[in-house]
A and B are shown apart, each in its own frame.
Chain A
Amino acid sequence: MTKPATLDPRPHGFDAWRAREDFPILKTEAHGKPLVYLDSAASAQKPRAVIEAVRHVYEAEYANIHRGVYELSEKTTAAFEGAREKVRAFLNAPEAREILFVRGATEGINLVAQSFGRAFLKEGDEIILSALEHHSNIVPWQLLRDITGIVLRVVPVNNAGELEIDAYAELLNTRTRLVAMTHVSNAIGTVTPIHDIVRLAHERGVPVLVDGCQAVPHQKVDVQDFDCDFYVFSGHKLYGPSGIGVLYGKAKHLEAMPPYQGGGDMIRSVTFEKTDYNVIPHKFEAGTPHIAGAIGLGAAIDYLEGLGIPEIMAHEQAVLHYATERLSRIRGLRPIGTAREKASILSFVLDRAHPHDVGTVLDGEGVAIRTGHHCAQPLMERFGIPATARASFGLYNTPEDVDALAAGLEKVLEIFG
């Protein structure tokens, strides 16, 4: 089969083969075979630029931030706040104070649930989620429900795994207080129509939180264009360090919301009688944050902007297209999630072998994929399966990786044929 022309390295375009050189781990082996890493949706590998940036912090520029009067602390503070500005520009947020550093998307969603939710929602109020959600955008709302008595409503998906937008429009009503929706499904790759989701909610004055974990590595995100009220993502899925993530929130919401955690840096003054809180974003950043993580995330953003996010997206879509076509020729393979608009995530089941056995056989071939329910059990239930095998493609994946996956799947059929 001939490879699509867009996959050929181009002198002035994006060259995945060249980019692979930036990722030291891709030179390692698994079970004596070259590593073929197809699990970037779980966590992306790190380019040297990120590894070096983190190392540089600890070797040359490390002290606590927002505290020291000495030069070193001022340098670290500048680097940390510089990373916040990089995130602002990356999301095209209006102001840097609308960017909160958190541990990851999970903490970002929990922050909104516990702060916004407990302050402004009451019994009988409704939140709309979708059947595509990761557990991290389900369970925080269930915890809130157990405290406040709110009601969770779920937008269904069709057989292709696409959000049923008409059903969503019908679920919106006078009791709806928040919509919390994924931008891209981690389990099956569906891209949801965020513009329509936000527009329909805003027509009723309902704010929208978007889980952007699986979107930011694959496409340009502009929170002003979406006009969403909150947007969360994790650094480690964006080729940055783990333990750092971002919650963007419109200033009007963040200013009205009470603090999520108490501690140092989030206060202006403390007496045992009364505490005055700091301004945003600091009001929500109690304690010493993951300083090196934030700076590493800034380096990841620089790296991706340097390659060009539209170029990365075009490459990944070409690899996805090639993989979809290539895997369709594997006997007994059924793709799960066939939305018209998909990020580079390919979930499937084989009629002859359980996903766990597929994963183990592929592992023996050096091919790393994810198997299981992908922290999206309600979605698995929707498709009547306990689990899928999932290959997800990052900027460094090539058609050769797809060929290795296909060869591994042939091996699965040899064993279970």
Chain B
Amino acid sequence: MLDLKDLYQEVIIDHSKRPRHFGKLADSNREAEGFNPLCGDRLTVKLIVEDGLVKNVAFEGVGCAISTASASMMTDMVIGKTEAEARALFQQFQELVTRKEPPTAAELTTLDKLAALTGVRAFPSRVKCATLAWHTLAAALDQRHEAVKTE
């Protein structure tokens, strides 16, 4: 039996309905566009990075509950982090939702609220929804200009 409660946890529904840091960002100095050709989802991530520190983040676009919630939680998590810390969090999140072994208790603690998203592991077709915003964030940090694709 598939337990949808693992995927659509309350915190995810909440972030998908009321995404944080959603909208425009004045004075941003980094941005990238992400696109999932499989479903047509598209989002833009904008950042203000100063002295290696992520001062502010915002995102815009259309997506499913998983991609919207993931983007929203991501913005909450990376503000105030260094570029290196934000990248490391992306790496860890990416690994946890794609690898076979379930996350350990220690890993879940590091992930904080992102832990709720590890439920996508049981839904292989939805993993790309959860990682789209993160790939886009990485591209923005790298100052890559072509749109990121999940395919």
Instruction: Find out whether the CB atom of B39 lies under 8 angstroms from the CB atom of A360.
Output: no
- Indicate whether A9 reaches chain B with its CB closer than 8 angstroms: no
- The CA-CA distance from A364 to B4 in the complex, in Å, is 7
Interface segment among B21-29, B49-57, B59-67, B86-94: the answer is B59-67
- The CA-CA distance from A372 to B62 in the complex, in Å, is 13
- Indicate whether A264 reaches chain B with its CB closer than 8 angstroms: no
Question: What is the chain B residue whose CB lies nearest that of A417?
Answer: B13
Contacts A/B (CB < 8 Å), 19 sampled = A32-B1, A354-B62, A354-B64, A356-B39, A356-B126, A356-B129, A357-B64, A360-B7, A360-B125, A360-B126, A361-B8, A364-B3, A364-B4, A386-B39, A386-B41, A386-B62, A387-B41, A415-B13, A416-B65
- The CA-CA distance from A371 to B123 in the complex, in Å, is 15
User: Could you tell me the dominant secondary structure of chain B's interface residues?
Assistant: mixed
Which size bracket describes the interface of B in this complex? 20 to 34
Q: Which of A353, A360, A387 contacts B4 (CB 8 A)?
A: A360
Which residues of chain A come closer than 8 Å to B39, judged between CB atoms? Answer: 355-356, 371-373, 386-387
Q: Which residues of A are interface residues toward B (Cβ below 8 A)?
A: 31-32, 353-357, 360-361, 363-364, 371-373, 377, 380, 386-387, 415-416
Q: Which of A32, A357, A363, A373 contacts B66 (CB 8 A)?
A: A357
Contacts A372-B38, A415-B13 supplied; 15 other A-B pairs, CB < 8 Å:
A353-B65, A354-B62, A355-B39, A356-B64, A356-B66, A356-B126, A357-B65, A357-B66, A363-B2, A371-B39, A386-B41, A387-B39, A416-B13, A416-B17, A416-B65
Give chain A nearest CB distance to B32 CB in angstroms: 19
User: Could you tell me the dominant secondary structure of chain A's interface residues?
Assistant: helix
- Indicate whether B42 reaches chain A with its CB closer than 8 angstroms: yes
- The CA-CA distance from A373 to B17 in the complex, in Å, is 23
Q: Which of B1, B7, B66 contacts A31 (CB 8 A)?
A: B1
- The CA-CA distance from A363 to B65 in the complex, in Å, is 16
Question: What is the chain B residue whose CB lies nearest that of A386?
Answer: B40
